[in-house]
Amino acid sequence: MFQNVYPVFEAKKLLKKEMLDNLRDFPRELFDLQYQGYSDGILTGCELEGYDGGLKIMPGILYCQGVPYFLKKPFDVSVQAEGRLTYIKVRFLGKSIGARQEEYLSQIYIDERIPDSNYELELGRFKLQTGAKLRTEYVNFFDYATEYDTIDRIHVPFAAAGHQGIWPQLLKCFAKELLHFPKHESGDIAFCLNCLQLEKAMPYEAVKAYLNVRLRQDREYTNQQIYSALKDILREAGGKESDFGGEIGKKEGTLLMI
């Protein structure tokens, strides 16, 4: 049966173990029920801000194998301007038993090795040149794939129901730019309006369905392929040639001079 049991604390009354257990378990049970069936990835927050010599990871929640990991304060990471592809990663250390508590810990670090999805999660990637600082603001949808001195979050997994999703900010930017064009195909407006309302990652199946209908295909997509397909739709809407289906990333990596 459905129920809601909440302990009542009264002066001069003994505390029962069951009362404290209820307070301990209720938040976790509520969280587990709300996000059951979700994939690993960023659940909320974890935005990045670049500055001279480093970047700041803002507070947020990661979800890994059914366990939420909380970052409560901004975390600073130093970066080196070496011009090589570098990954910002979180390594999950698993469960350990602390002083009368279970601990699920992680480590934030950067290196040049591709993240291992078995125990690591990517927060972003970049190639930083000497004398430059990391950019986390973007001019337009195409600018998200700028190769140098810009944080690339296209590949970052976001927690979503059933399957990892893509960065909601990408979909919002796509929607705003597509709606500026006067002509749309069937389904464009509905998809764009849904994107503009996003607070968390859109379900992968919804994005896949839109792309397959819009591009008259039947296929699966990686985050990179989702981004490339959305770029093609914008090119088409603006009267430019599409390149999806060719070499993925062929036209990406343009250096933006600002």
Examine the domain organization and report whether 122 and 177 are in the same domain.
Answer: no
pLDDT digits over 93-115, tens only?
A: 877 876 677 888 999 999 999 99
Low-confidence ranges of the chain (pLDDT < 70): 1-10, 12, 15, 19-20, 22-23, 25-26, 98-99, 240-258
User: CA 70, 59, 165, 125 torsion: positive or negative?
Assistant: negative
Examine the domain organization and report whether 112 and 78 are in the same domain.
Answer: yes
Per-residue pLDDT, 59: 96
Per-residue pLDDT, 183: 81
Residue 120 within any structural domain of the chain: yes
pTM for the complete prediction?
A: 0.83
Per-residue pLDDT, 253: 44
Domain that holds residue 111: 41-145
d(CA 7, CA 179): 51
Q: Indicate the Cα dihedral angle 163, 197, 58, 85, nearest 10°.
A: 60
Examine the domain organization and report whether 128 and 212 are in the same domain.
Answer: no
Per-residue pLDDT, 248: 34
Number of compact structural domains in the chain: 2
Residue 178 within any structural domain of the chain: yes
